[in-house]
Structure formats: C-alpha cells, structure tokens
C-alpha cells in the first residue's frame, strides 16, 4: 500500500470515526467516509487486546495485503479498520471475505446516500 493511500493523522481518524458509515463484524469494525481527494485512504487500528507488537504488526500487514489483492484504490473514500479479537479465531481467507463483505455493504450504502 502506497503512503498516499494511508491515513496517518489522528485528526483524519477522528473525522472518519465521527462522520462515517459504520459496519461491525466479528473480526472488524469498519468506518467509511467519502473524501474529495480522488483516491482511497486507509487507516488500520490494532489494540493491545490482540497481542504483543509482533502480532499486531502481522495483523496490519495481512489487512494491507487485502487491499493489494482486491485493488479498490480508485474509490474516493477514507476507511478506518479497527481489528477485533475475533480476527485471531479465523483463517486469513475468512478474514478477507469478511472484510470484503463489510466494505461492499458500506460502499453500496454510501453510493445510495
């Protein structure tokens, strides 16, 4: 994932949390907000309840890899993904399918409003 496609500032995370569509699954909380930048930005949050720093870094890499596989960078959204402990109980494929389903549902809802 390129640097231009990452949310880094705390203020960007907060705006996305408070002004967005929201979907919760067993493994994720996904927040989606339309932006005017012309490209997708993604922020990933992993809390300490998931494990130590090594485990959290591995989880973030897996979530970023999802975006390289499904290539949805042409969309104009800010997305914040908060990984939940249910992520650890599922396979990588199940987690990818769950995230794809949540993103598609939110994007469909965002297109309608």
pLDDT in tens, the chain (113 residues): 677 778 888 888 888 888 888 999 999 999 998 888 878 889 999 999 999 999 999 999 999 888 888 777 677 888 999 999 999 999 999 999 999 999 889 888 877 66
Any idea where the domains of the chain sit in the sequence?
3-106
Q: Each residue of 70-91: b (16+ CB within 10 Å) or e?
A: eebeebebbbbbbbbeebeeee
Pick the CATH number of 3-106 from 1.10.287.310, 2.30.30.50, 1.20.120.550, 3.30.230.10: 3.30.230.10
H or E stretch covering 34: strand 28-34
Predicted local confidence at residue 60, as pLDDT: 92
What pLDDT is recorded for position 82? Answer: 94
- Residue 87 is predicted with a pLDDT of 94
pLDDT for position 113 = 61
User: How many other CB atoms sit within 10 Å of the CB of residue 49?
Assistant: 10
């Amino acid at each position: 994932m390129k640097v231009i496609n990452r949310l880094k500032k705390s203020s960007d995370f907060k705006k996305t949390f408070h002004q967005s569509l929201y979907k919760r699954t067993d493994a994720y909380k996904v927040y989606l907000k339309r932006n005017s930048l012309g490209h997708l930005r993604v922020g990933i949050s992993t809390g300490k309840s998931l494990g130590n720093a090594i485990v959290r870094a591995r989880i973030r890499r897996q979530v970023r890899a999802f975006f390289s596989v499904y290539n949805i960078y042409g969309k104009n959204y800010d997305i914040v993904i908060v990984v939940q402990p249910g992520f650890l109980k599922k396979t990588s494929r199940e987690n990818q399918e769950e995230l794809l389903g949540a993103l598609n549902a939110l994007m469909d809802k965002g297109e309608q409003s």
